[in-house]
Amino acid sequence: MQDQTAHSIKLQRYYKYHSTIYDATRWSFLFGRQQFLSSLPELMSQPRILEIGCGTGNNLQLLEYFYPDASITGVDLSEDMLEKASRKVGNSKELNLMQFRYGSEGPDWDPFDLVVLSYSLTMIGENIDTILQHVHEDLNPNGYIAVIDFHDTPFKWFRRWMWHNHVSMDGTILPMLKKYFTEEKVSLNKAYFGFWKYFTFLGKRS
């Protein structure tokens, strides 16, 4: 586990520049997001949805589209990423953006029907057990967790390069998700013919 304040400062610095090129570049390696979100289950009317690490807000836009009557909250620790998100989706009662580091800080909010983590768990740096326990507490008893993220790579040098970019690609997250949540649907997918794998996980609070 890393020193969280230091990690958070590093990420905020990293995204000061990367927020400016994020949307133009990430389509080429953050695969599967739109398809995954479009496959999520129907929710009760006026659901409460949380995206942790919402970045520049692409998924928030999609969630708004797929769940038009939802109340959606996007949190991110990077002010620069949130600024981009706010230009896309605004900041209203129905779509609320909040800046803080999920895991160690956070409001005492009402539970959510769906929590989405898209390419953020592998960057979060904290003890993943702690994060997943928080998600568990933040979900309604029948709530869903939907995660899409990097899984692993056969290339050590690439894992190191990703680590240098604050991403941990060690294949440990999927088994932990299965420990905390009841699995509904899982997929493991190859990117660039197996250069790395990414996974999707849909689970229920167990």
Ligand X SMILES: C[S@@+](CC[C@H](N)C(=O)[O-])C[C@H]1O[C@@H](n2cnc3c(N)ncnc32)[C@H](O)[C@@H]1O
Binding site for ligand X (CB under 6 A): 11, 15, 30, 33, 52-55, 58-59, 75-78, 81, 101-103, 118-120, 123-124
Closest distance of CB 85 from ligand X, Å: 9
Closest distance of CB 124 from ligand X, Å: 4
Closest distance of CB 180 from ligand X, Å: 17
Residue 206, classed as helix, strand or coil, is coil
Closest distance of CB 155 from ligand X, Å: 20
Burial class (CB in 10 A: 0-12, 13-18, 19+), 15: buried
* Count of all residues that appear for the chain in the document: 206
Q: Tell me how far CA of residue 40 lies from CA of 43, 95, 115, 122, 133, in angstroms.
A: 9, 19, 11, 21, 22
